[in-house]
Amino acid sequence: MAKNKIMSEQRSSQQQKALELWCRLLSEDLNAAGLDQRKVLLPSIAIPWDQRSVKGMIFRPVFTAMTGLESTADADPSDYNKVYEVLCRHLSTKLGVTAPAWPDRNREDLR
């Protein structure tokens, strides 16, 4: 019975799709702002962002620090929103970048 409870508290496939889309949108915004990975993380090499690098170098480290979990697949449904809020605040105050809105299945422009 405990296993079913744990499984029901994990993020949904829809939440996973939203995370992947948000990472792609943020990578586009960071690149458009001229903030390649060199400017944000590695000072010696100009590396543009992509969905995978945003998830692995921005989202996952904050997610792990906040939840103690290594895999986003183990996320509680509320975890993504908490991490999103922390990242939005950081990106805005430290880099002057407004992060894209978290994807919502009801938004026409994200379908």
Average pLDDT value for residue range 85-91: 95
Average pLDDT over residues 7-31: 85
Q: pLDDT confidence of 58, banded at 50, 70, 90? A: very high
| Ramachandran angles phi, psi of 58, nearest 5° | -115, -60
Closest CA to 19 of 86, 73, 95: 73
pLDDT reading at 3 higher than 90: no
pTM for the full predicted model: 0.68
Give the number of other Cβ atoms within 10 Å of residue 101's Cβ.
13
Please report the pLDDT score of residue 44 as a whole number.
72
Residue type, 108: E
Residue-wise pLDDT tens digits, 25-57: 999 999 999 888 776 676 777 788 999 999 999
How many C-beta neighbours within 10 Å does residue 44 have? 5
Closest CA to 99 of 44, 61, 49: 49
